Chain A
């Protein structure tokens, strides 16, 4: 019997999308159990930000972390950029793509303050310049129990933190999203969320090598609906931790009050680590629906088991050793 094993390179012509071209060019192994090659450095140079809002492509990206499971298929660009929770642009999943067109992500400055030796206001280009941009593929698990797989472009948050020289008294880092009601229609209603959107990490979480500040997806600058021009990505946490369009970074001694914790403290905590054993009070977190394949037939796929720390337990587990995760959810 002739058995034809399908290789990744056997893609039918209709499967050859700009995304698959990007993934192949970057040497991603689509659908296969890829290996972590964290140390590999290409001919990467200093981070340069091309034209904003998805218009420009990055060059000289360093190949970063891309450890995926056997069944992890990178989500389509259409899904990643068309199905978003970004309440500043409206509460439905299609609102951000529809309402973010007038947002101006350039020019962009970030205010850095609090317990650090080098506070100040810095342009995004200068913030990125000392660092090397990497592309990394992470699973993305929303607190609403759906997930995607996203090829980010970004810099390790730890390196950015180091550049501002936090003081010994700094225990946390807080992030703030921009407030521009004239460009962000969701912000015209104070009833949706209290603005600005605030998120935070413990400083050792921020210094974990998996945490990045992202500036791109699929090798292109972030689209407005994805949090242009600068956003957090901490892949072992629920998506809402990944604060978008960051304009302020503060080093603090006290734990920041993140927006969703303020809104519903019994439902959303400070840590928000992906954890199949701690349910949301209104739904189970034990399973998730993988979306973003671009195929309606995925509707017939079963939900999948949610992994502890979104599958990054080996990497981040020690950050929470001895902690009662049912209490610190």
Chain B
């Protein structure tokens, strides 16, 4: 293949990557809605919806945090272009998770909600994780990077690390017994954050 042809093919891949990943990121949501229409959301639909959205929020947060380690490990620099999108999808699933909880479970009863946030430690922790992610979503646009300056923006966006830690703690705290699943997430998060520490040392 000529250099020009190779370049053209690379451009197609380059241009195709983001839309393809975007569509993939929507799959869990589409499947959830489809299961809803099929009346297939377990005996406890509210719990099923909240858990599914929460699981995917955490998975996308870990995926966003995996971008930099993956780039360092493979030298595949293109992947960095996915980071913002993955982060925003994580935030989208967080918001849907939160909406399902406040709306479906609590019926937008904000007094009861406040008591719940105070009473249930795992919800307090979950809300804290949301509070850390909110400024990241707000400052995700290129204009905000310019406005804040790269160094400050990067500093701010390190809030994703404690948000990840809080999200995993949130998962641990809501469980009665049998900690295999959150343990898997905890290990993955530890590796992803550990890589960054090692790199800096």
Number of A-B residue pairs at CB separation under 8 A: 77
Instruction: Give per-residue flags for A177-219: 1 if the beta carbon is below 8 A from chain B beta carbons, else 0.
Output: 0000000001000011100000000000000000000000000
CB <8 Å contact, B45 and A298? yes
Question: A283 at interface (Cβ–Cβ under 8 A)?
Answer: yes
The residue of chain A having its C-beta at the shortest distance from the C-beta of B38 within the complex is A296
B121, CB-defined interface residue at 8 Å: yes
The reply on B122 being an interface residue by CB < 8 A is yes
Q: A108 in the interface, Cβ–Cβ < 8 Å?
A: no
Instruction: Kindly state whether residue B177 has any CB partner on chain A within 8 Å.
Output: yes
> In the complex, are the beta carbons of A91 and B177 less than 8 A apart?
yes
Q: Are B49 and A299 in touch, CB under 8 angstroms?
A: yes
Flag if A83 contacts B42 (CB, 8 Å).
yes
Does A82 have its Cβ within 8 Å of any Cβ on chain B? yes
Residues of A within 8 A of B43 (CB): 75-76, 78-80, 82-83, 93, 148, 291-292, 294
In the bound complex, do residue A289 and residue B46 qualify as a contact, i.e. CB atoms below 8 Å apart?
A: yes
> B200 to nearest A CB, angstroms?
35
**Could you tell me if B45 and A283 are in contact, using CB atoms closer than 8 angstroms?**
no
CB pair B178–A192 under 8 Å, yes or no, is yes
Q: Kindly state the separation between the CA atoms of A130 and B107 in the bound complex, as whole angstroms.
A: 50
List of A residues within 8 angstroms of B21 by Cβ: none
- A296 to B36, Cβ gap below 8 A? yes
B199 at the interface (CB under 8 A from A): no
**CB-based nearest B residue for A84:** B43
A283→B120 contact, CB < 8 A: yes
1/0 per residue B28-56: CB within 8 Å of A? 00000000100111111111010000000
| CB proximity to A under 8 Å, residues B159-201 | 173-180
A292 to B41 Cα, complex, angstroms: 11
Q: How far is the CB of A117 from chain B (nearest CB, A)?
A: 38
A144 at interface, CB cutoff 8 A: yes
Interface size class for chain B? 20 to 34
Chain B residues within 8 Å of A284, by CB: 115-116, 119-120
Neighbour of A282 across the interface among B45, B112, B173, B180, CB < 8 A:
B173
Quick check: is B104 within 8 A (CB to CB) of the other chain?
yes
Contact of B42 among A82, A263, A295 (CB under 8 A): A82
| Separation of A94 and B40 alpha carbons in the complex (Å) | 13
User: CA of A89 to CA of B42 in the docked complex: distance in angstroms?
Assistant: 18
Residues of A57-82 whose CB lies within 8 A of B: 75-76, 78-80, 82
What residue in chain B is nearest A83 (Cβ atoms)?
Answer: B43
A79→B173 CA distance, assembly (Å):
26
Contact mask for chain A residues 285-306; partner B; CB cutoff 8 A; 1 contact, 0 none: 0010101101110111011000
- Bound complex: CA A210 to CA B115 (Å): 34
Q: What residues of B have a CB within 8 angstroms of the CB of A294 in the complex?
A: 39, 43
Contacts of B44 in A (CB 8 A): 83, 93, 146, 289, 291-292
Report the bound CA distance from A300 to B105 in whole Å.
8
Closest A residue to B37 by beta carbon equals A296
Q: Does A279 contact B (CB under 8 A)?
A: yes
> Given A82-B43, A284-B116, A292-B43, A263–B177 Cβ distance below 8 Å?
yes
In the bound complex, CA of A211 to CA of B171 (Å): 36
Q: Tell me, yes or no, whether A87 is within 8 Å of chain B by CB.
A: yes
A36 CA to B101 CA, complexed, in Å: 37
- Chain B residues whose C-beta falls within 8 Å of the C-beta of A279 in the assembled complex: 119
Q: How far is A302 from B103 in the complex, measured between Cα atoms in Å?
A: 10
Q: Which residues of A contact B120 (CB under 8 A)?
A: 282-284
Pick from B41, B104, B106: contact of A300, CB under 8 Å: B104
Complex CA distance for A276 and B121, rounded to whole angstroms: 19
Q: B6 → chain A, closest Cβ, in Å?
A: 49
Smallest CB separation, A151 vs chain B (Å) = 16
Closest-by-CB residue of A relative to B40 is A296
In the complex, chain B residues whose CB is within 8 Å of the CB of A93: 42-44
Inter-chain contacts of B39 with A (CB < 8 A): 294-296
Q: How far is the CA of A302 from the CA of B46 in the complex (A)?
A: 11
Chain B nearest CB from A111 CB (Å) reads 27
Contact present for A299 and B121 (CB under 8 Å) = no
Contact indicator A296/B173 (Cβ below 8 Å): no
Supply 19 further A-B pairs (C-beta < 8 A) apart from A80-B43, A282-B122, A299-B41. Answer: A83-B42, A83-B43, A91-B175, A146-B44, A192-B178, A279-B119, A282-B119, A282-B120, A282-B121, A284-B116, A284-B119, A284-B120, A289-B47, A292-B43, A292-B44, A296-B36, A296-B40, A299-B49, A303-B105
**12 contacting pairs across A/B (C-beta < 8 A):** A83-B44, A91-B178, A93-B42, A93-B44, A94-B42, A144-B176, A263-B177, A282-B121, A284-B116, A284-B120, A291-B47, A299-B49
